[in-house]
């Protein structure tokens, strides 16, 4: 990639729509929180923990990711984790973030739902004041657990309805199809929540179809498996259903062997509204701009693709109309330079 394109990608205004806040916990912060909270870790040092980040598939990552999250106990822990991520995102010219959080990972350990959401929300408010950065929260249901447990989590969340704008579906994809959660997503839709789901990361294109048809989601998280199904590609392009693609994640979790094999450029060429995101930046070797640079270095992507990605990131966001239009104007102005 030449220097001009690199600067464009780094400096362009952008939104991040697929980041699990627990996946932003850096090993250093895991160790600091473990000490503060007197939690024992299975690894003797930051280096030993980091060297365990050699994943073979989604499940091998999730096992370590849930272990890392075990150091989060108090409201302040959730604040500190979120603030560290937002500061890092701000340095990458991220103007707007839509954060996932996994309340079940914490409530199962006895942490109060209120402490989780209040800590994250307080950091989002501070980022707005400090950096004029907007942030919205999406609560994910863990798909390896039951729909009944998802309903119970929704009940716990409702007193905090003003602090999150939507729900998502994450964790172990294979064997846990979207339709397992048809009832709870229907209830969330009645409540006026936005709906998204991970689908077609490791799972088949059929899961993307049922996420759309049964859950009625507005965006697909990952969705890279769609290219195996040409009719689905046409549909995603026609409907402009956004895919929140996570290039470094897909390499670390072996969805693609090498970045040169990633299908991001093919998705964009097919007219799909793809976006680039970091997923779990502390575990996959990079934040927003690292993902963009890695993809642009390896794939046939040019300045028009950069503009498209910046545009898509805001167009696919759940920002209110006026704020979204204002961000899109900022993208246009940036690319007129
Ligand atoms: N939870 C955190 N990261 C995830 C991913 N990439 N896929 C599914 N669940 C997740
Ligand atoms: Zn994800």
Rounded to 10 deg, the angle between the 303-315 and 288-298 helix axes is 140
Does residue 80 have its Cβ closer than 6 Å to ligand 1? no
**Residue 98, SS3?**
strand
Q: What residue's CA is closest to ligand 1, atom 9?
A: 171
Which pTM value belongs to this model? 0.98
Residue position matching structure tokens 């995603």: 236
Does residue 77 have its Cβ closer than 6 Å to ligand 1? no
Mean pLDDT of 143-169: 98
243-274 pLDDT tens trace? 999 999 999 999 999 999 999 999 999 999 99
Tell me the ligand closest to 19's alpha carbon. Answer: 2
Q: Is the domain covering 3-336 a CATH 3.40.980.10 domain? A: no
Q: What residue's CA is closest to ligand 1, atom 8?
A: 171
Q: Is the pLDDT of residue 124 over 90?
A: yes
Residue 43 CA to ligand 2 centre (angstroms): 25
Does residue 249 have its Cβ closer than 6 Å to ligand 1? yes
Task: Report percent pLDDT > 90 for the chain.
Answer: 100
Contact 93, 14 (CB under 8 A): yes
Domain ranges of the chain: 3-336
Q: Please give the structure tokens belonging to residue 121.
A: 């929300």
Q: Is the pLDDT of residue 36 over 90?
A: yes
Q: What is the DSSP letter of 111?
A: -
Mean pLDDT of the chain: 98
337 pLDDT band, cuts 50/70/90, is confident
Does residue 202 have its Cβ closer than 6 Å to ligand 1? no
């Amino acid at each position: 990639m030449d220097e001009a394109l690199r600067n464009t990608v780094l400096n362009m205004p952008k939104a991040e729509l697929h980041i699990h806040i627990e996946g932003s916990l850096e090993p250093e912060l895991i160790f600091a929180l473990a000490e503060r909270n007197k939690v024992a870790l299975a690894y003797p040092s930051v280096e030993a923990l980091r060297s365990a980040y050699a994943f073979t598939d989604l499940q091998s990552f999730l096992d370590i990711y849930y272990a890392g999250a075990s150091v989060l106990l108090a409201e302040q822990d959730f604040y500190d984790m979120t603030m560290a991520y937002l500061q890092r995102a701000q340095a990458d010219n991220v103007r707007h973030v839509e954060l996932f959080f996994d309340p079940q990972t914490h409530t199962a350990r006895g942490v109060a739902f209120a402490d989780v959401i209040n800590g994250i929300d307080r950091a989002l408010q501070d980022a707005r004041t400090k950096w004029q950065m907007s942030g919205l929260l999406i609560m994910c249901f863990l798909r390896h657990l039951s729909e009944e447990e998802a309903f119970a989590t929704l009940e716990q969340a409702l007193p905090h309805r003003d602090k999150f704008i939507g729900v998502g579906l994450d964790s172990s994809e294979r064997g846990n199809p979207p339709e397992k959660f048809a009832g709870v997503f229907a209830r969330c839709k009645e409540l006026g929540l936005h709906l998204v789901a991970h689908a077609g990361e490791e799972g088949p294109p059929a899961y993307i179809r049922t996420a759309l048809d049964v859950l009625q989601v507005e965006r697909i998280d990952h969705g890279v498996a769609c290219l195996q199904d040409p009719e689905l590609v046409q549909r995603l392009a026609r409907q402009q259903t956004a895919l929140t693609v996570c290039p470094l994640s897909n390499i670390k979790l072996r969805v693609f062997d090498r970045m040169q094999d990633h299908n991001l450029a093919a998705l964009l060429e097919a007219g799909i509204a793809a976006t680039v995101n970091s997923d779990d930046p502390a575990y996959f070797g990079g934040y927003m701009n690292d993902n963009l640079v890695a993809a642009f270095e390896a794939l046939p992507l040019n300045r028009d693709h950069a503009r498209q990605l910046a545009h898509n990131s805001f167009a696919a966001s759940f920002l209110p109309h006026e704020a979204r239009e204002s961000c899109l104007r900022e993208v246009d102005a940036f690319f007129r330079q």
